[in-house]
Amino acid sequence: MKYKTDKSEGKYLCHMCEYLHDEALHECKRCGAKLHQRVPNSIALTWGYVLAATLFLIPANILPMMVVTSMGSDDASTIMQGVIYFFAHGDYGLGAVIFIASVAVPVFKLAVVYYLLLIVHFKQHDKALRGIKLFHIIHLIGKWSMLDIFVVALMVSMVQFQGLASIQTGGAAIAFCSAVIFTIIATEKFDPRLMFDEELIKKEEDK
């Protein structure tokens, strides 16, 4: 056996301050956080949140993100229409930013979380190292999907001219917001050590 882990040695690592305990205490000695060897119900909770996020992404892409009322006429646009608007007007940089933040990143994040869950489920331990790299990436880029929500929030509050022009949010805003938040919770609940843990059991069985 090449590596000793906290599980094989019967030690308990605090999730917050990373203090290593020799026995299973209720709370961490150093920072007082609840002490678990692995995140409790990690896989079930991650599945739940990631499925909820996937479902919310559907209305988020179908319903309009915002409705611009100008001179009495309504103009509703979905996320993709917003991106196309920028490309059609030659604003390629901004179009790319919005596309990456509100289409590519959420889909990529969900795909990665499914991939990680499948690694754990099918015990694909040789893919665990790649999995941990992807896990770090989605931790870094996760919050950028909120960009479009903030843009709509700002535009709604700034454009309030009685009778002349106003902007309302569409149903997609709340759906997209929920999708992003559920994805963030899903990555928080996922315990990457589960990808490595089974390696130990499998190797011991082989012996």
Partner 1 sequence: MKQTACKDCGVIIDIKSFDNSKEYACPRCHSVFYRAGESFDLVLVMVITAFLFFIPATFLPIMTLNIMDQSHSVTLFEAVWFFANDGYLIIALIAAGSGVVIPLTLLALIMMMILPKKMGYDSSYIKKFYRMYEHLSTWAMAEVYLISIFVAIIKLGGMAELNLDFGLVSFAFFILAFYISLIWFNPNDLWIEN
Minimum distance from CB of 51 to partner 1 (Å)? 21
Nearest to 172 by CA among 69, 70, 123, 103: 103
* Contact yes or no for 193/18 (Cβ under 8 A): no
Chosen residue from 150, 201, 203, 204 binding partner 1 by CB under 8 A: 150
User: 195: which 2 tokens?
Assistant: 């990808």
List C-alpha distances in Å: 110 to 18, 48, 76, 149, 150. 28, 12, 27, 18, 21
Rounded CA gap, 60 and 178, in Å?
9
Sequence-distant (≥ 6) Cβ neighbours of residue 46 within 8 angstroms: 113, 116, 117, 186, 189, 190
* Contact yes or no for 14/33 (Cβ under 8 A): yes
Nearer to partner 1, 47 or 135 (CB): 135
User: 56: which 2 tokens?
Assistant: 């919310």
Nearest to 156 by CA among 166, 171, 146: 166
Minimum distance from CB of 139 to partner 1 (Å)? 9
The yes or no reply on residue 45 touching partner 1 (CB under 8 A) is no
Minimum distance from CB of 111 to partner 1 (Å)? 20
Q: If binding means CB under 8 A, how many residues of this protein chain bind partner 1?
A: 62
* Contact yes or no for 99/83 (Cβ under 8 A): yes
The yes or no reply on residue 184 touching partner 1 (CB under 8 A) is yes
Binding mask 107-146 for partner 1 (x = CB under 8 A): ---------------------xx--x--xx------xx-x
Nearest to 168 by CA among 159, 177, 179: 159
Nearer to partner 1, 20 or 25 (CB): 20
Minimum distance from CB of 168 to partner 1 (Å)? 7
The yes or no reply on residue 175 touching partner 1 (CB under 8 A) is no
The yes or no reply on residue 33 touching partner 1 (CB under 8 A) is yes
Chosen residue from 177, 183, 186, 189 binding partner 1 by CB under 8 A: 177
Sequence-distant (≥ 6) Cβ neighbours of residue 87 within 8 angstroms: 95
Residues making contact with partner 1 (CB under 8 A): 3-7, 9, 11, 13, 15-20, 30-33, 68, 70, 89, 91, 94, 97-98, 128-129, 132, 135-136, 143-144, 146-151, 153-161, 164-165, 168-169, 173-174, 177, 181, 184, 188, 192-193, 195-197
